[in-house]
């Protein structure tokens, strides 16, 4: 399995990084995790074949994770996509998608798609299978608006990938990433504890209990990026490819 960071930035473009979007592919699996506002140009720049993507998992409805969908769906329509596409995310995804489509491209939510678009609501700790991929969502803690907030543990082709999504520290990150081959964790701050986001120093206290085989940090603020020289962990960069 391969994961490519299409975008690993925060909502503010810190460090010039693009909004969150990961492309995961293997022998049978081909999906995105999150689709931030900059996802479509980033996918095109990396020459990732959008037609081959079967599934998009959305962690929450903040623009840096979700607002790329209208662009991606319009592009799919105009590029004559035929392959069905599933977009799965927290409760309310159908309404939220309609709202963001209408806000960005009026009447676009009413256009009849040439391809089958399936919208699926995911609920905490209810496993769902999509073809070769099994997804277990875990509830995370990320404030009052833009939720519900889900982190994902994804099993595919004998490998396990866990993504914290945006969250402050919560005990659910332990089962989420326990023993995972790859754990992508947000590290918004270096040591300062803030609401709604994780600091690296907090995360580090829990790494032994989590026991993931490999850790990669993402969604870093300027505070965290300025400390990267002192950090012994792998930090994501846009375009970086990991084989796991």
| Vertex 91 angle, CA 129 and 168, to 5° | 95
Nearest distance from C-beta of residue 51 to Zn ion, angstroms: 27
Please identify which of the residues 10, 34, 64, 166 carries the catalytic annotation.
Answer: 64
Q: Which stretch binds Zn ion (CB under 5 A): 54-62, 74-82, 85-93, 230-238?
A: 54-62
Query: Footprint of Zn ion on residues 164-223 (CB under 5 A)?
Result: 166
Nearest distance from C-beta of residue 23 to Zn ion, angstroms: 17
Q: Which residue, 21 or 101, is less far from Zn ion as judged by CB?
A: 21
Six token digits for residue 203: 């995360």
Query: Footprint of Zn ion on residues 1-30 (CB under 5 A)?
Result: 11
Decide: is 64 part of the binding site for Zn ion (CB under 5 A).
yes
* Coil/strand/helix, residue 193: coil
Nearest distance from C-beta of residue 219 to Zn ion, angstroms: 6
Q: How many CA atoms lie within 13 A of 157 on its CB side?
A: 11
Catalytic annotation present for 64: yes
Q: Which residue, 66 or 130, is less far from Zn ion as judged by CB?
A: 66
Decide: is 62 part of the binding site for Zn ion (CB under 5 A).
yes
Interface with Zn ion: number of residues (CB under 5 A): 4
Task: List residues bridging with 22 in a β-sheet.
Answer: 5, 33
| Vertex 38 angle, CA 137 and 12, to 5° | 85
Residue partners of 76: CB distance under 8 A and separation at least 6: 50, 51, 85, 113, 115
Q: Which residue, 64 or 155, is less far from Zn ion as judged by CB?
A: 64
Decide: is 34 part of the binding site for Zn ion (CB under 5 A).
no
Query: Footprint of Zn ion on residues 154-173 (CB under 5 A)?
Result: 166
DSSP conformation letters of 60-116: --SHHHHTTHHHHHHHHHHTT--S-EEEEESTTHHHHHHHHHHHHSTTGGGSPPSS-
Nearest distance from C-beta of residue 146 to Zn ion, angstroms: 6
Residue partners of 99: CB distance under 8 A and separation at least 6: none
Residue with token string 């326990």: 178
Residue 115-154 contact track with Zn ion, rule CB under 5 A, x = bound:
----------------------------------------
Q: Which residue, 65 or 81, is less far from Zn ion as judged by CB?
A: 65
Nearest distance from C-beta of residue 76 to Zn ion, angstroms: 24
Residue partners of 141: CB distance under 8 A and separation at least 6: 149, 167, 168, 170, 196
Q: Which residue, 1 or 35, is less far from Zn ion as judged by CB?
A: 35
Catalytic residue IDs: 64
> Which residues bind to Zn ion, rule: CB under 5 A?
11, 62, 64, 166
């Amino acid at each position: 399995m391969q994961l490519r960071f299409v975008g690993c930035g925060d909502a503010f473009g810190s460090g010039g990084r693009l909004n969150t979007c990961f492309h995961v592919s293997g022998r049978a699996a081909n999906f995105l995790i999150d689709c931030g506002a900059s996802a479509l140009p980033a996918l095109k720049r990396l020459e990732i074949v959008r037609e081959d993507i079967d599934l998009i998992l959305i962690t929450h409805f903040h623009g840096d994770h979700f607002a790329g969908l209208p662009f991606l769906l319009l592009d799919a329509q105009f590029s004559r996509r035929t392959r069905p596409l599933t977009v799965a995310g927290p409760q309310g995804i159908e309404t939220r998608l309609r709202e963001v489509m209408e806000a960005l491209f009026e009447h676009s939510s009413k256009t009849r798609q040439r391809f089958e678009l399936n919208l699926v609501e995911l609920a905490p700790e209810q496993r769902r299978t999509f073809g070769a991929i099994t997804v277990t969502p875990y509830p995370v803690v990320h404030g009052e608006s833009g939720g519900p907030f889900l982190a994902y543990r994804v099993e595919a082709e004998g490998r396990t990938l866990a993504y914290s999504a945006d969250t402050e520290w919560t005990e659910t990150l332990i089962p989420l990433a326990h023993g995972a081959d790859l754990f992508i964790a947000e590290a918004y701050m270096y040591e300062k504890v803030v609401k709604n986001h994780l600091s690296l120093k907090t995360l580090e206290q829990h790494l032994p209990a989590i026991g993931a085989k490999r850790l990669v940090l993402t969604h870093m603020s300027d505070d965290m990026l300025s400390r990267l020289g002192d950090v012994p962990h792998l930090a994501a960069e846009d375009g970086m490819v990991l084989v796991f």
